[in-house]
């Protein structure tokens, strides 16, 4: 297992120690880091998906509003 050192403001350190008193702080930090990595990766996947959608829209066939309305009406039961 790796060891990491971070500098944090004293008030954050104190609050962390109070909130997680009696818990394995290394395990808490590892879980928080894991969640942060997953959150950023998820955000990146969302951005990439959004960019793919925008790219596909550039090549999508263009239809008029009239054609769109007709297709919508045609698809209704």
| Cα gap 74→77, rounded to integer Å | 8
Collapsing DSSP to helix, strand or coil, 64 comes out as coil
Give the domain ranges of the chain: 24-74
**pLDDT grade, residue 20 (50/70/90)?**
very high
**Three-state secondary structure call for residue 5:** coil
How far apart are the C-alpha atoms of 58 and 7, rounded to whole Å? 46
Tokens of 55: 């790219």
pTM attached to this predicted model: 0.69
Average pLDDT over residues 41-61: 95
Name the band, by pLDDT with cuts 50, 70 and 90, for residue 29: very high
pLDDT of residue 77: 73
Residue with tokens 């009406």, as numbered in its chain: 73
Q: Model confidence at 75, in pLDDT bands (50, 70, 90)?
A: confident
């Amino acid at each position: 297992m790796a060891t990491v050192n971070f500098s944090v403001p004293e008030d954050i350190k104190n609050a962390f120690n109070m909130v997680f008193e009696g818990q394995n702080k290394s395990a808490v930090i590892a879980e928080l880091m894991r969640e942060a990595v997953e959150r950023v990766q998820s955000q990146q996947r969302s951005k990439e998906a959004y960019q793919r959608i925008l790219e596909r829209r550039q090549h999508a066939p263009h239809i008029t509003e009239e054609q769109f309305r007709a297709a919508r009406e045609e698809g209704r039961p």
